[in-house]
Amino acid sequence: MSDWLKVFGEMSLDNLFVIAGLAFLGIGIIGKISGKIDPSPRARAISAMVGICLVLSGIRIHRGHISVPAAAAPSQSASVIPPPIKEVNAQGAPGPSQPAPDDHPSRNQSQALGLSYFSGTWKNSDAHTRGLTTVSVRTAGGSVWVRAWGACHPTDCDWGEVSGTAFAPGVSADPENNAQKVTAVFETSFSNTLMTLSPADGDELEADTQTRFTDNSGRSSYSSTYTFRH
């Protein structure tokens, strides 16, 4: 008897309800059992109803034990979605590849000052130069003429006056009021020199010359740069 009590004591509540319900159903259906149980028809009906209730209660308790842990446990297949990463727009930040603006560009960087800036007589800022010593520019409307002198002894050599060309920043710009550069070509019996005049800092004038020799002497062509002041 003690062994049976131990077995029933270790059973779960749902199993006990089912077993007890089946026992009551057996009494209600079979009726008399081994001459020890002989219920009346009414008692058999009550026993069957009690048995059905116990079996249904045991099944309900059993389902509750299964469904509760399944609902409480997190789904292992669910993926964890990380929060979105905010992007910082650094449009206003300076980049290493963006050069700083030049607040004080030099005048020889495509500044249009007009032919009036070039007009007049200009002296080389280097009093001991062995190249060009003086440049004189004469203008009339959009036309320009250039005269130059080179270092000679006892007096400077006059290269003469030649017609020049004024360059504006665009095809529709007026050279007289928008000239950026002036070029002139000086030719001798042995050389050809292209001179380009452009504004420089400090109200100065910069002259670039490219000279090539035409006398088959074998001398190399060369370039020079001079700075002039009024």
The larger pLDDT score, comparing residue 172 to residue 66, is at 172
Which is more confident, 202 or 7? Answer: 202
What percent of the chain is predicted at pLDDT more than 90?
50
DSSP secondary structure letters along 15-64: HHHHHHHHHHHHHHHH--BTTTB---HHHHHHHHHHHHHHHHHHHHHHHH
Position 97 scores a pLDDT of 44
CA atoms within 13 A on the CB side of 93: 5
State the fold for domain 115-229: Lipocalin (2.40.128)
Residue 108 has pLDDT above 90, yes or no: no
Least-confidence region, from 40-54, 81-95, 111-125, 132-146: 81-95
What's the rounded mean pLDDT across residues 29-46? 69
**Rounded CA separation 139/206 (Å):** 18
Residue recorded with tokens 């026992």: 23
pLDDT score of 83: 55
The pLDDT confidence band at residue 43, using thresholds 50, 70 and 90, is confident
Q: What local confidence, expressed as pLDDT, does residue 74 receive?
A: 45
pLDDT at res. 91: 45
Mean pLDDT of 121-125: 98
Q: Which residue has the higher pLDDT, 193 or 103?
A: 193
pLDDT band at 133 (very low <50, low <70, confident <90, very high): very high
Q: Would you state the pLDDT for residue 99?
A: 46
Q: What is the mean pLDDT of the chain?
A: 78
